[in-house]
Chain A
Amino acid sequence: MRVPLSKVAYARSGDKGDGSNVGVVAYHQAGYDVIREQLTVEAVKSHFSEICFGEVKRYEAPNLMALNFILHDSLGGGGSESLKTDAQGKTHGLGILYMQVEVPDDFQLHA
């Protein structure tokens, strides 16, 4: 079944130079397997197509069941240059949780 990522993982984001960092952490190991397989660089780049105008980089931290993404060129100049309301990418973590992922029918969803 297809579910929003928010049923599988939680997230936090902040600024990293001209880009934002979006950390995604699965609620459990089966969820980590899902995000590691489905949150590809291409999928994340496409999800943020109207926000991120640069390269997307992905890192893995399996011990934390976490993935970290850097969304380059997503802050309108970043830091004090930006005029955007979300100049530091504080909301991008919640943004990624709107993604849809495919999980098995018996998958334990977060309430």
Chain B
Amino acid sequence: MPNKDKVLIANGQGFWGDSILGPIRLVNEGPLDYLTLDYLAEVTMSIMQKLKMRDPNAGYATDFVRMVERVLPVCREKGIKIVANAGGVNPQACRAAVADVVRKLGIKGLKIGVVEGDDILSDLKSLIDGGEKFKNMDTGEELAPYLDKVMSANVYIGAEPIVEALQQGADIVITGRATDPSVVLAPLMYEFGWSLDDMHMMAAGTIAGHIVECGAQCTGGNFVGWKDVPDMARMGYPVIEASPDGTFVVTKHEGTGGLVNVETVSSQLVYEMGDPSCYITPDCIADFTSIQLQQESENRVQVSGIRGAAATDTYKVSVSFKDGYKLVGQLTVAGPDAVEKAKLCADIVFDRVALDGVEFAPEERFVEILGTNVCHAGIADAPEEPAEVVLRIGAKGHDKDKLNRLGMEIVPLVTSGPPGVTGFAGGRPKATDIISYWPALISKEKVKCSVSVEEV
């Protein structure tokens, strides 16, 4: 039996670094049952792993803790629960930091749930020894030879353990690498009593999650029709108004800026899409070709007809590993002859390091002249004589010292290159690690998630 006949879920963060105003305004400016927050992109886990290696108490989305401090009093007052994959590679440390905030605010009886089991970094060797190949889904290569370079390894877990945390009474649920849609699907499963066997409901909740996972990207952000989007500074973040039958409305709080129509929602549906008939998550296979969209009224889009199929018996694993270094610096070259001078500058840099015995093969070199049609190369018309351009110059490789030597020859162009070279912001560039991403699969039975709920 459903607990409710309507559930309001809003997503307030599309990535680690999104505006803190999203969630703050969501809880303050309208009714809400759940606030969900997605902090994790592919590379985020490896960044967090690096932070944790330096400090055992780090490795989670610190923004989340600052945000909780600002929204928790209102969430308590309105009974809004929070579900976030803010735990990164250290969900327990994240809970401890949130618990500190709860105590500081003087709030009593709040339950914080943590979902673990996605982080398989320390088990990777024994899993490989036990027969898991972790074949790269793009190249088919096995992971074993790269094992010593691996930075992080996380399973994309689904909604089930989050549901369990909610069943245990959690007011805040913190996960590691849960998939973006699962943080939205889980509260719907909990409130409506949906089970994993209800495949069409799983698909509906997943698609609701997909629509809101990038925050304002379905309420008028990054939208081709941007001229029609009112008051973007006060852009409302998305709210899903869900029903137990798997239909839902995409909307935003009244009086906020932004725009919700069939076009803004469709735009987000096709974002980062692969095969639309087969969107695979740990919870189900969602069929995007079954979705029906209808404008119900202003800033309300009704979504219905969603069909799904049972989940696969594998989880996706995201492994990140060190794969050499990169360096890039930039400076501004003003006219006349800005483009010609920028090209000369790039040649000078590579020629000068070569004079010092440091050579780069053409495929290692990187030169981009912004202002001459870089993003739409070969598509849009490039300006004939831009008044100024930005030269971006750098290289990739496995020799860090060589790259840093290159970095030293970029700034000197200001005094020893053609005239009009300026704008060298950020000082001398330094080589940084390239963290590559290795997508693989693991059989579900090898992964055990655990849930713990503690009262503060």
Query: Once the chains bind, are B276 and A81 in contact (CB under 8 Å)?
Result: no
- Residues of A near B222 (CB, < 8 A) are 12, 90
- Residues of B near A12 (CB, < 8 A) are 217, 222-224, 267-268, 270-271
Q: Which residue of A lies closest to B139 (CB)?
A: A18
Query: Once the chains bind, are B380 and A10 in contact (CB under 8 Å)?
Result: no
Determine the distance from Cα of A17 to Cα of B43 in the docked complex, in whole angstroms: 11
**Interface flag for A59 (CB, 8 Å):** yes
Stretch among B83-91, B163-171, B250-258, B289-297 lining the A interface? B289-297
The 8 A CB mask of B301-328 against A (1 = contact, 0 = none) is 0000100000000000000000100101
CB within 8 Å of B: which A11-47 residues = 11-18, 21, 23-25, 27, 47
**Interface flag for B263 (CB, 8 Å):** yes
**Interface flag for A3 (CB, 8 Å):** no
Q: Which 8 A-B pairs have the closest CB atoms?
A: A23-B270, A50-B378, A10-B224, A50-B377, A91-B375, A14-B272, A61-B276, A83-B366
Query: Once the chains bind, are A79 and B436 in contact (CB under 8 Å)?
Result: yes
Query: Once the chains bind, are A51 and B378 in contact (CB under 8 Å)?
Result: yes
The 8 A CB mask of B370-384 against A (1 = contact, 0 = none) is 100011111110000
Query: Once the chains bind, are B270 and A64 in contact (CB under 8 Å)?
Result: yes
The 8 A CB mask of B43-86 against A (1 = contact, 0 = none) is 10010000000000000000000000000000000000000000
Query: Once the chains bind, are A59 and B275 in contact (CB under 8 Å)?
Result: yes
CB < 8 Å neighbour of B375 from A18, A62, A95: A95
Determine the distance from Cα of A90 to Cα of B436 in the docked complex, in whole angstroms: 19
Determine the distance from Cα of A5 to Cα of B223 in the docked complex, in whole angstroms: 16
**Interface flag for B423 (CB, 8 Å):** no
Query: Once the chains bind, are B378 and A83 in contact (CB under 8 Å)?
Result: no
Chain A interface extent, by class: 35 or more
Query: Once the chains bind, are B379 and A23 in contact (CB under 8 Å)?
Result: no
Query: Once the chains bind, are A66 and B270 in contact (CB under 8 Å)?
Result: yes
Query: Once the chains bind, are B293 and A64 in contact (CB under 8 Å)?
Result: yes
Closest Cβ of chain B to A96, distance in Å, is 8
Determine the distance from Cα of A23 to Cα of B222 in the docked complex, in whole angstroms: 13
CB < 8 Å neighbour of A21 from B225, B263, B271, B394: B271
CB < 8 Å neighbour of A84 from B138, B368, B435: B368
Query: Once the chains bind, are A70 and B376 in contact (CB under 8 Å)?
Result: no
If A12-B224, A16-B274 touch, whether A63 touches B396 (CB-CB below 8 Å) is no
Determine the distance from Cα of A59 to Cα of B291 in the docked complex, in whole angstroms: 15
CB < 8 Å neighbour of B42 from A79, A94, A95: A79
17 A-B pairs within 8 Å (CB atoms) are namely A10-B224, A18-B138, A23-B269, A24-B270, A59-B273, A61-B288, A61-B289, A64-B291, A66-B269, A68-B270, A76-B366, A77-B396, A80-B434, A80-B437, A83-B396, A94-B224, A95-B380
- Residues of A near B289 (CB, < 8 A) are 60-64
**Interface flag for B443 (CB, 8 Å):** no
**Most chain B CB atoms below 10 A, which of A60, A65, A76, A85:** A85
Query: Once the chains bind, are B368 and A85 in contact (CB under 8 Å)?
Result: yes
Query: Once the chains bind, are A80 and B396 in contact (CB under 8 Å)?
Result: no
Determine the distance from Cα of A55 to Cα of B90 in the docked complex, in whole angstroms: 39
- Residues of A near B437 (CB, < 8 A) are 17, 78-80
Determine the distance from Cα of A10 to Cα of B275 in the docked complex, in whole angstroms: 19
Q: Which residue of A lies closest to B381 (CB)?
A: A98
Determine the distance from Cα of A94 to Cα of B225 in the docked complex, in whole angstroms: 11
- Residues of B near A86 (CB, < 8 A) are 374-375
Determine the distance from Cα of A81 to Cα of B366 in the docked complex, in whole angstroms: 12
Determine the distance from Cα of A95 to Cα of B217 in the docked complex, in whole angstroms: 18
Closest Cβ of chain A to B350, distance in Å, is 15
**Interface flag for B439 (CB, 8 Å):** yes
The 8 A CB mask of B383-400 against A (1 = contact, 0 = none) is 000000000101010000
Q: Which residue of B lies closest to A51 (CB)?
A: B377
- Residues of B near A50 (CB, < 8 A) are 377-379
- Residues of A near B293 (CB, < 8 A) are 64
Closest Cβ of chain A to B263, distance in Å, is 6
**Most chain A CB atoms below 10 A, which of B267, B268, B293:** B267
Closest Cβ of chain A to B149, distance in Å, is 14
**Interface flag for B195 (CB, 8 Å):** no
Determine the distance from Cα of A68 to Cα of B266 in the docked complex, in whole angstroms: 12
